Amino acid sequence: MKSDVDELMPRLLPVEEYDVEDFDPSLPPRNPQEYLRQVQLEASMCPDVMVAQIDPKKLKKNQTVNISLSGCQPAPEGFSPSLKWQQLQVANFSDVRQNVNKHREHWKLQSLDNNVVMPNPEDEEGWLKFCLGEKVYFERLLSQDDNDNDNPGIDYVKMGFPPLLSIVSRLSQASVTIVLEYLMNWLGEKAFTSELGRWLYALLACLEKPLLPEAHSLIRQLARRCSEVRASLESKEDKRLSALNLLICLVARYFEQNDLADKE
């Protein structure tokens, strides 16, 4: 007599019949035949239809929200650069990128100073301190000790390491994207500083085309965030204006995100 398992579905692999007393499905299989027999038994105990229990209240809490991510915020009157200025910056930036690519291998082999310890890629706090310095990271003002004439050397731990070619040339494309994301997160919560601007420019110069999807999304976020900061400026004499315009220009004009570009 055929068992219920045999009647459930036709056999695709031959399984030898075992004596009821000899085959114990609760024990580990001793051979391939017993393994297949256990699979058949387990399949026979599965219900024909499974129904998922869904709590509608939980779905309401996780509704997808559509946010418009179309262009940058328009610049206040008189704050946007001319088209000629943008074209000049794109040409200069293209030269910088060519020089970086040309000399990348040379600078990668140069030894770093003993005080330059590059953080691990996953160390977000370490990279923020490395790029921006502890003074900016901890939002400390310069103290009298920082301007001590008896110690004219620059304390890069406090002031942040500049994006030297010997440093950025050591970054893989994955690391460039990661550090760019760290700085983007910082820019979304903190003030725009000259240290931050220098590193953002250097990382853009190290991005290879065609852009990876992660990098593409990040630079668009960068341009939008820069446009938000620019819109909050109170004067055209603000020292941050030129740097903000430059970053928006490079994302829009060089990396061809034309919908984000400043129009004359």
CATH architecture of 83-260: Up-down Bundle (1.20)
Tens of pLDDT, residue by residue over 108-156, are 888 888 889 999 999 999 999 999 999 888 875 444 444 444 445 678 8
d(CA 196, CA 136): 10
Q: Which residues of the chain have pLDDT under 50?
A: 1-2, 5, 65-68, 141-151
Instruction: For the chain, give every domain's residue range.
Output: 4-44, 83-260
What pLDDT is recorded for position 145? 47
CA atoms within 13 A on the CB side of 161: 21
H or E stretch at 181: helix 173-187
d(CA 7, CA 222): 63
What pLDDT is recorded for position 174? 94
What pLDDT is recorded for position 67? 45
What pLDDT is recorded for position 150? 46
What pLDDT is recorded for position 91? 97
**Coil, strand or helix: which one is 150?**
coil
Tens of pLDDT, residue by residue over 132-145, are 999 888 875 444 44
- From residue 50, give the alpha-carbon distance in Å to each of 10, 106, 124: 22, 62, 44
What pLDDT is recorded for position 7? 56
Nearest CA among 225, 216, 220 for reference residue 186? 225
